Amino acid sequence: MTIILDGKALASKITENLKNEISQLSKKPKLAVILIGNDPASQIYVKNKNIKAQNIGFESLVISLPENSTEENILEHIYILNEDKNINGILVQLPLPEHINKQKILEAIDPIKDVDGFTSYNYGRLALGYKPYALACTPKGVMRILKEYNIEVEGKNVLIIGRSNIVGKPLSIMLQQKNATVTVAHSKTKDIKTIAKQSDIVISAIGKPKFVNKDFIKKDAIVIDVGISRTMDGICGDVDFENIKNLCSYITPVPGGVGPMTIAMLMENTFELYKYQLDLI
């Protein structure tokens, strides 16, 4: 029987627990989000993050800057947030306008406020096996789903399709640290299907609707769909869910799988950074 990995329910359990903990604090954690430009998807993501933060009981601040902002102007905001003792987490919504150097912007965030785990300090600590202040939210969310459903990754062959800095790459490190044997495929990989067919766990993060179909899946494989594409039929993952679900032992839906977990991990990271800053952990 196929088990649907319910990221929405797990995310709601995590945020309810956070809400209870936060209600007992006199000083609330505060998340600052910087949004640059008018990208409609980014505007929705930021709005949702802000609503979720406030529902949990965090304080939150959205700084909306125009598309033609200069690097200096954005950096100035980050430096102010870095110094502000009331701000615990800083997030710069990606993607950035083309004229902005992403590395320069993300690296300016104080690592102890780097709620996305994208600074080289936190990313480097992850790669070296040291504890970072924060782990990237989406891969952390995938790992949490696997843990919640007692899916053991040790000794398993895991294929990750997609090698981005925000999903595939950090996830490959996290899985190796749990003793999985990880293959990372990308746009230049030949014959992904054959590799997928030999894999116990297939995780796709490429943004190509229904790319992973039944030819990719061996019986009882575990399938995690990170992809989100907006199509005529609505939000769609990388996985042809309807046609492969009966082949799998576990599978995430889209929507309702990894997406809600990403936001839940962002909230968890905000609270953890708050605790680091107050020397509570």
| Residues at the contact surface with ligand NAP, assessed by CB under 6 A | 138, 161-164, 166-168, 185-189, 192, 205-208, 226-229, 258-259, 262
**Tokens 């936001």 belong to residue:** 263
CB closer to ligand NAP out of 208 and 245: 208
- How many other C-beta atoms lie within 10 A of the C-beta of residue 103? 10
CB closer to ligand NAP out of 46 and 87: 46
Q: Using DSSP, state whether 8 is helix, strand or coil.
A: helix
CB closer to ligand NAP out of 87 and 167: 167
Sign of the Cα pseudo-torsion (232, 234, 236, 241, in order): negative
- Tell me, yes or no, if 24 is annotated catalytic: no
CB closer to ligand NAP out of 132 and 139: 139
Which one is catalytic: 6, 30, 49, 113? 49
CB of 278 to ligand NAP, least distance (A): 28
CB of 192 to ligand NAP, least distance (A): 6
Q: Which residue is nearest to ligand NAP (CB)?
A: 207
- Joined together, the tokens standing for residue 168 give 């595939």
CB closer to ligand NAP out of 87 and 146: 146
CB of 154 to ligand NAP, least distance (A): 25
CB of 260 to ligand NAP, least distance (A): 8
Q: Using DSSP, state whether 180 is helix, strand or coil.
A: coil
CB of 33 to ligand NAP, least distance (A): 16
User: Which amino acid, residue 272?
Assistant: E
Which one is catalytic: 6, 30, 93, 169? 93
Beta strands in 149-221 (DSSP E): 157-161, 181-185, 201-204
- Tell me, yes or no, if 220 is annotated catalytic: no
Per-residue CA distances from 46 to 57, 61, 164, 194, 255 (Å)? 17, 10, 21, 38, 18
- Tell me, yes or no, if 193 is annotated catalytic: no
Q: Is residue 203 within 8 Å of residue 252, measured between CB atoms?
A: no
Contacts of 81 (CB under 8 A, 6+ apart): 32, 34, 87, 90, 113
- How many other C-beta atoms lie within 10 A of the C-beta of residue 155? 10
Catalytically annotated residues: 49, 93, 116
